[in-house]
Amino acid sequence: MRHNKSGRKLNRNSSHRKAMFKNMARAVMAHETIRTTEAKAKELRTVVDGLITLALKDDLSARRQAFKILGNHKLVQHLFDNVGPRYAGGQGGYTRIVKLSAPRVGDAAPMVIFELTKLAEKKVEAAPAEAAPAAAKTKETAEGKTEEKAEKPAKVAKPKVAKPKTEKPKAEKPKAAPKAAKPMKKAVV
């Protein structure tokens, strides 16, 4: 009986389970959000929270422990330089599990989105309307005069002319003769 045993086995042996959680932790650090099953997400929460706690310490020993799990120096650097400082001053609550409405198609496993609570802000590019005034550049000459360069008109793509397709006549196959009807079976009396 399973009395007071902590952790989920997830139908895997210990080495497979350990490797799976390492890979999932790498994916969370790289993308900051992943889609997985509910049971895996609940177990992964302990691994990722531990990594972020290590990032808050920010010393050599903590970096080495994080490398043992992540196995990639760039991910460790990202964890300690970008992810860790977002959670400075907080205790726990680093991850969020959002349940999805539809279960997985193959086995109807409940699916979730596992993400960090404080996601990195994405850089938004300037709108084209704001970029238009910057297009006319000014250039100062040696005499102190300013000259404005006019923006070159954008190249317009030539419309494609549809060529009529020539159809090749298909060779007609002779139709097969209808099959002869099978004789009816005699009823046994």
pLDDT digits (tens, 9 = 90+) for 148-162: 555 666 667 667 766
Residue 128: the pLDDT is 52
In a domain, 127, yes or no: no
In a domain, 2, yes or no: no
Residue 135: the pLDDT is 47
In a domain, 149, yes or no: no
Q: Are strands 95-99 and 138-140 parallel, antiparallel or unpaired?
A: unpaired
Domain containing 109 equals 14-116
- Whichever domain contains 74, its CATH number is 3.90.1030.10
In a domain, 106, yes or no: yes
HSE-up of residue 149 (Cα within 13 Å, Cβ side): 10
Residue 107: the pLDDT is 96
Residues in contact with 70: Cβ distance below 8 Å, sequence separation at least 6, in sequence order: 22, 25, 26, 29, 51, 76, 79
In a domain, 107, yes or no: yes
- Element containing residue 45 per DSSP (H, E): helix 38-57
Ordered strands of the 33-37 beta sheet:
33-37, 111-116, 95-99
Tens place of pLDDT per residue across the chain (189 aa): 989 999 999 999 999 999 999 999 999 999 999 999 999 999 999 999 999 999 999 999 999 999 999 999 999 999 999 999 999 988 999 999 999 999 999 999 999 999 999 988 876 565 555 544 444 445 555 555 555 555 666 667 667 766 666 666 667 777 777 777 777 777 776
d(CA 70, CA 85): 18
In a domain, 41, yes or no: yes
In a domain, 24, yes or no: yes
Residue 189: the pLDDT is 67
Residue 131: the pLDDT is 47
The number of distinct structural domains making up the chain is: 1
The pTM (predicted TM-score) of the whole model is 0.63
In a domain, 28, yes or no: yes
pLDDT in tens, 165-183: 666 666 777 777 777 777 7
Contacts by 167-174, CB closer than 8 A, 24 or more apart? none
